[in-house]
Amino acid sequence: MDNTEKKEEIKNEPVKETSNSALKNKIEKPRYRLPFRIWMIIILGMFLSSVLGGFFGFVAGGFSGAFTDNVKNRIESKLGLNKNEVVTERGSVLREESAVIDVVEKNSASVVNIVITKDVPIFRNNGFDFFFNPFGYRNENSQDTERQRVGGGTGFFVSNDGMIVTNKHVVSDEAAEYTVITTDEKEYKATILARHPSLDIAIIKIEGNNFPVLNLGDSDNLKVGQSVIAIGNSLGEFSNSVSLGIVSGLKRDITAGSGYGESERLSNIIQTDAAINPGNSGGPLLDIRGNVIGINVAVAQGVENIGFALSVNDIKKTIEQVKRSGRISVPFLGIRYVILDEEIQKENNLPYNYGALISRGEKMTDFAVIPGSPADKAGLIENDIILEINGQKIDANNQINDMVASMEVGEKITMKIWRKGNEQQLEATLEERR
């Protein structure tokens, strides 16, 4: 048999079937099985690696963020963009939160507490009337008194030598004594320099030097909605209390009562929702840059978040007068009047719906024109209607008292009046209110 036949024979021999899986099972490399302990170590290592990796990644991100913020702040500083400012179309305005803190820190030392003390009758308990009079009774036959604290208010420095502005109603009691307490808890006896006859403003003074002074701003440029800060001796107990709000309204006219039956008309008043409480009276209302734009004076009763402040521009003249002469000099005209409107015009068949009708008060002594006053000397009489003063129309928003208050003693004014069907001009020279 040749080789070819052998090959064919071999080729024709039956071959034992071996599938791929079977071959694989036969020739598979032997596996090394790790002990269970080693597997646990590996799993634990992977877990710790992922946790620590996340932690260090977070820390690295924090450092990266801090580094980025630092670089950003430096760039803003170089470009004049302070981090406390936001650039808008109207210019640069301070971020509120940082600005409020800054204002309070810089200006609180300029705000003082005013403590009111007075000799009051001593109340005694007779020892036999506990159930009917447990708190004692006043001995009407005794003249014994004791010095007691009877009230408190707020003020702020307007001069380095101790001149302080406050409300007149805070220091209105001439029989009382007034003590100023500064933020460093030092006490000073206060002297009343002047009380304004028509505005709720008073100037007091303490002895000393180098007191921190607040900057007086411009209340004519206020906008409704802008932020304001009130600082004061709330309830006469919580000194340097800070409240934040906005300007809620401008040029308000209100009638404020003292709680003792007294009332006063206040005009050109700032309304705010910053908390104004008893004891805040006389304290400053500041704008977001720390300038005084008002003096806290009143709060609406029975409602929330309606407080009022005198406009600072209305008192600048008073402050300068007292600094210059030690007194307040206020001009007056000497008339009683009613502002006309459409309703009064129709009811009385008058030719004007504006102007001031000179009229008597309810009492016999409430003269329409005060005898000997500048108005009397100028020839004004009852039922005259003053239409204009120095060319300015008289109406509810531009009243005579407010106009005269802005003028000087000795200043001459020209009045356009209506009398019995005719218009005419009169002149008057303002005199000092006594």
Residues 243 and 315 in one domain: yes
The CATH number assigned to the domain holding 410 equals 2.30.42.10
Range of the domain at 375: 331-432
Residues 226 and 320 in one domain: yes
**Which of 325, 340, 368 is the endpoint of a domain?**
325
pLDDT of residue 68: 54
Residues 296 and 310 in one domain: yes
Residue type, 200: D
Per residue in 388-397, pLDDT (tens digit) is 999 999 998 8
Domain contains 161: no
pLDDT of residue 70: 55
Per residue in 4-21, pLDDT (tens digit) is 444 444 444 444 443 444
Per residue in 219-253, pLDDT (tens digit) is 999 999 999 999 998 877 788 889 999 999 998 88
The CATH number assigned to the domain holding 226 equals 2.40.10.10
**Which of 277, 308, 325 is the endpoint of a domain?**
325
Residues 363 and 267 in one domain: no
Domain contains 260: yes
Residues 314 and 336 in one domain: no
Query: For residue 47, what pLDDT band results from cuts at 50, 70 and 90?
Result: low
Domain total of the chain: 2
Residues 223 and 321 in one domain: yes
pTM beyond 0.75: the answer is no
Which of 110, 196, 200, 241 is flagged as catalytic?
A: 200
Domain contains 130: no
Instruction: Output phi, psi for 104, to 5 deg.
Output: -65, -45
Residues 274 and 359 in one domain: no
**Which of 325, 345, 376 is the endpoint of a domain?**
325
The kind and range of the H/E element at 389 are strand 385-389
Which of 110, 169, 239, 287 is flagged as catalytic?
A: 169
Query: For residue 29, what pLDDT band results from cuts at 50, 70 and 90?
Result: very low
Residues 379 and 414 in one domain: yes
Domain contains 184: no
Per residue in 170-216, pLDDT (tens digit) is 999 988 999 999 999 999 999 999 999 888 999 999 999 999 999 99
Residues 280 and 229 in one domain: yes
Contact call for residues 427 and 413 (beta carbons, < 8 A)? yes
Q: What share of the chain is helix, strand, coil (3-state, %, to 5)?
A: 25, 35, 40
Residue 196 annotated to the active site: no
Beta bridge partners, 415, equal 389, 426
Residue 169 annotated to the active site: yes
Residues 321 and 363 in one domain: no
Per residue in 64-90, pLDDT (tens digit) is 554 555 555 555 544 555 555 554 444
Domain contains 78: no
Beta bridge partners, 146, equal 120
Residues 277 and 310 in one domain: yes
Domain contains 97: no
Residue 241 annotated to the active site: no
Which of 110, 227, 243, 281 is flagged as catalytic?
A: 281
What proportion of the chain, given as a percentage, has pLDDT over 90?
47
Section 144-160 average pLDDT: 88
